[in-house]
Amino acid sequence: MSFKIKANFIVVFKIGDNINFNLRILKTLYDGYNNLPDGRNLIKPIVILNTAVTEAVLYDFVVNRLKRPYSVDVLFIDIFNFLKDKDLRKFEHYITQAEKFDLFDLKDTNFYNALRSLNKKRNRVHIQNDRWEKPYEEYKIFDEKAKILSEKVLEKVVNTMTLKYPRNEEYHDYVNDFELPWNRHFDSVTPSDSLTLEEAQDLGVI
């Protein structure tokens, strides 16, 4: 119940190694989720880690590939000129730039709102919730729908990266393939792969 995706888009190889480390943790969490009687109690760390991996992928792409690219690896000179002097340090910053330039070709869907929704859920790692954001009860945040949303968003992000933004071939084998510990949500992994309207709506804010 897992599948692999090429990590041919990673710029900083140590980020790729750490993503694989966290994916191995996720594999253990999913084994518990699927096999333990109280496996649903693992949904919170699953959602948080799926979202953290999504953030790491976006950081590596937006900051290391678009904002400060190697001279031989410049994808979009206009985006580079726009981003080069910006201070990008938070997940929300990467989401904003991804939406501004529609890096995932999903501007007419809820995809970027889904990323923001997961960012808010991930921030509830802080149990005290000192901003008193609703819902107050964490079991209402970390449910099966949140788990599936985090899977679909991460899967869509890495699918797009490996197909649309691969690095030059000489960099493809430095990071091991990413293994996502669930069954594919999107059957096709081809250059024409995109969300249907129904899938995009399913990725909306919960």
Output the pLDDT for position 165. 92
Taking the C-alpha atoms of residue 148 and residue 145, their distance in angstroms, rounded to an integer, is: 5
Taking the C-alpha atoms of residue 61 and residue 155, their distance in angstroms, rounded to an integer, is: 15
Output the six-digit token pair for 20.
């694989």
Residue type, 39: G
- 3 forms bridges with which residues in the sheet? 180
3-state helix, strand, coil in the chain (%, to 5): 60, 5, 40
Output the pLDDT for position 205. 41
pLDDT in tens, 169-205: 888 989 999 999 999 998 755 444 445 555 555 554 4
Reported as type and span, the H/E element at residue 179 is strand 178-180
Taking the C-alpha atoms of residue 100 and residue 115, their distance in angstroms, rounded to an integer, is: 14
Q: Which residues contact 78 (CB under 8 A, 6 or more apart)?
A: none
pTM: 0.87
Residue type, 123: N
| Ranges of the chain whose pLDDT falls below 50 | 190-194, 204-206
Number of domains in the chain: 1
> Which residue range(s) make up the domain with 194?
3-202
Q: What is the CA radius of gyration of the chain?
A: 17
Looking up tokens 């509830």, which residue turns up? 124
